[in-house]
Structure 1
Amino acid sequence: MQFVYGIFLFNCCVVFSRLTIDIISFRLLLSDLLNEEIFSPRFFATLALVSLRVLST
């Protein structure tokens, strides 16, 4: 029973970390768009991270 509980907790941590990464990258994208820094390297790096996340699901 403890083994199943441990796997459940581990999966929750993985999902939570993925959500945190998604929220951070989304906020970075929004701030770049609002500041009109569309051609900044950080914007492209964040966009690549988001597209990788979408493709991996």
Structure 2
Amino acid sequence: MNSTTLVTYSARDAKTRFGEVLDEALGRPVGITRHERLTAYVVSKRDFESLR
């Protein structure tokens, strides 16, 4: 995974801008926050498979 600065979206924004989140995740992991706490990451298929 190549990441410099983690891009984050609130869960609400990620829901309404899902396509943008997916596009961003092709280049680097994207953090998803809920109640201002980082709760999940969206990563590309390639990055996910490299973790396995």
TM-score relative to the length of structure 2: 0.32
Structure with the greater alpha carbon radius of gyration: 1
* Higher helix proportion: 1
